[in-house]
């Protein structure tokens, strides 16, 4: 079956540090890949997505590239801010069949210190 593996957390960084959060997946076919974010006290929201190999999703300074050869979708940001403190979830959706349910990783908590 499909699965998503995220690096273990939590992660604590100083403001303006470089961020990488690793995500790898196992899926049949060609899934769509997503990063969701949950800010403190808020609901889950889409951060970025990529729907085919070599696509780069980007939003709010975050980027992730769909790497089919390494089955990865690592999240990066060049300079994190305190406001980026949140829980980040990597997810995939299989593009086969009628059900486009999301398969999530366990999530990782990011804390950014001023």
Partner 1 sequence: GAGVSQSPSNKVTEKGKDVELRCDPISGHTALYWYRQRLGQGLEFLIYFQGNSAPDKSGLPSDRFSAERTGESVSTLTIQRTQQEDSAVYLCASSAGGARYEQYFGPGTRLTVT
Note the residues at the interface with partner 1 (CB under 8 A): 4, 31-32, 36, 42-46, 49, 51, 89, 91, 93-95, 98-107
For partner 1, the closer CB: 83 or 95: 95
User: Are 21 and 110 within 8 A, CB to CB?
Assistant: yes
Residue 85 CB, nearest approach to partner 1 (Å): 19
State the minimum distance, in angstroms, from the CB of residue 34 to partner 1: 8
CA 62 to chain centre: 10
User: Between residues 29 and 114, which has the closer beta carbon with respect to partner 1?
Assistant: 29
Give the shortest CB-27-to-partner 1 separation in angstroms: 11
What tokens appear for 71 in the block?
């089955």
d(C-alpha 72, C-alpha 90), whole Å: 10
Instruction: Give the strand order in the sheet containing 19-21.
Output: 19-21, 75-77, 62-65, 56-59
């Amino acid at each position: 079956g499909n699965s998503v593996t995220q690096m273990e957390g939590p992660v604590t960084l100083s403001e303006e540090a470089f961020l990488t959060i690793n995500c790898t997946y196992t899926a049949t076919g060609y899934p769509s890949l997503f990063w969701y974010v949950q800010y403190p006290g808020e609901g889950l929201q889409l951060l970025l997505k990529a729907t085919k190999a070599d696509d780069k999703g980007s939003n709010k300074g975050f980027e992730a590239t769909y790497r089919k050869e390494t089955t990865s979708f690592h999240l990066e940001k060049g300079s994190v801010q305190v406001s980026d403190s949140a829980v980040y979830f990597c997810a995939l959706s299989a593009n086969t069949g009628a059900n486009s349910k999301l398969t999530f990783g366990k999530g990782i908590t990011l804390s950014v210190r001023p």
